[in-house]
Amino acid sequence: MLPKAAVVVLHSQSKTISCWKCSEQTAPQIFCERCHSILDYRADSILSHFDILGVTERLVLDENELRNKFYELSKQLHPDRFAVSPAPAPQFALRWTTALNRAYKTLKSREDRTQYIIEKYLGHSSSAKKSTIPSDLAETYFEIQDLLTEGQSEPLLSFKKELEKKLAESDEQWIVLANTFDKTENKLAATQALRDHQDRERYLKSMLNDLERKVSL
């Protein structure tokens, strides 16, 4: 018999599922509270990445806490622990392990975590503006293109420093926007601001990469 595992309480608990072993009706979670058997994980699960890792939905995360949660769950869900368990426990363990790895890979990255939140609240089409130059960067963009055509290296070096400064400022702006998202009840408005910021930051990075690729600075 497997040792008693800690019950990971999940936050998206609007539906109930039935334990395959004891038939207990329970909210979606990893282990049954009654018999401690591993429960099923489905691809269409209502659980978010935050739920799977057992952390509150936030953009500003404690990375050490997130990593510790991941390692703790990885040990509990490792397929080797279920190798001699009766079906369907081994299959369920594999499903949870896959979901856990995907959740951690997304949430440990600031950019991926932000994109995940954007897609959750605004939909997958939220990244459709990739090719649009943010209005406050349009003039800078066209100036860079002119300088690249003319082959003037000294002004380009100044632009490079300006872009690096804007990216540093963008990091600070993200912290402000992320804290606003974490505290506000108006998630849609906060997410829209995050999307606008991310579009702008991606374009800044694209401009800087373009500059460095075309000119050795």
Q: Where are the domains of the chain?
A: 17-108, 124-214
Structural contact between residues 37 and 22, judged by C-beta atoms closer than 8 angstroms: yes
The pLDDT of residue 124 is: 76
Q: Greater confidence, 141 or 173?
A: 173
Q: Give the helix ranges, DSSP H, for the chain.
A: 49-53, 63-77, 89-107, 110-122, 135-150, 153-183, 187-214
Helix (H, G, I), strand (E, B) or coil at 187: helix
Name the token pair of 61.
């995360």
> Half-sphere exposure of residue 41, counting CA atoms within 13 Å on the CB side?
23
- Judge contact between 214 and 176, C-beta under 8 A: no
What DSSP designation does 27 have? -
What pLDDT sits at residue 11? 41
Q: Encoding tokens for residue 40?
A: 């099923």
Report the sign of the C-alpha dihedral through residues 112, 116, 118, 122, in that order: positive
The CATH number of 17-108 is which of 3.40.50.2300, 1.10.1740.10, 1.20.1530.20, 1.10.287.110? 1.10.287.110
User: Are the C-beta atoms of residues 211 and 160 closer than 8 Å to each other?
Assistant: yes
- Partners of residue 38 on adjacent β-strands: 31
Measure the CA–CA gap between 41 and 97, rounded to whole angstroms: 10
pTM here is 0.81
**Is 114:198 a contact under the CB 8 Å cutoff?**
yes
On whether the CB atoms of residues 95 and 82 are closer than 8 A, the answer is no
Asked whether the predicted pLDDT for residue 97 surpasses 90, the reply is yes
H or E stretch covering 18: strand 17-18
Separation CA 40–CA 30 (nearest Å): 8
List the one residue out of 204, 45, 184 whose CA is nearest residue 111: 204
Give residue-wise pLDDT tens across range 142-155: 777 777 777 666 77
CB atoms within 10 A of CB 177: 20
pLDDT tens for each residue of 117-128: 999 999 875 444
Q: How confident is the model at residue 57 (pLDDT cuts 50, 70, 90)?
A: very high
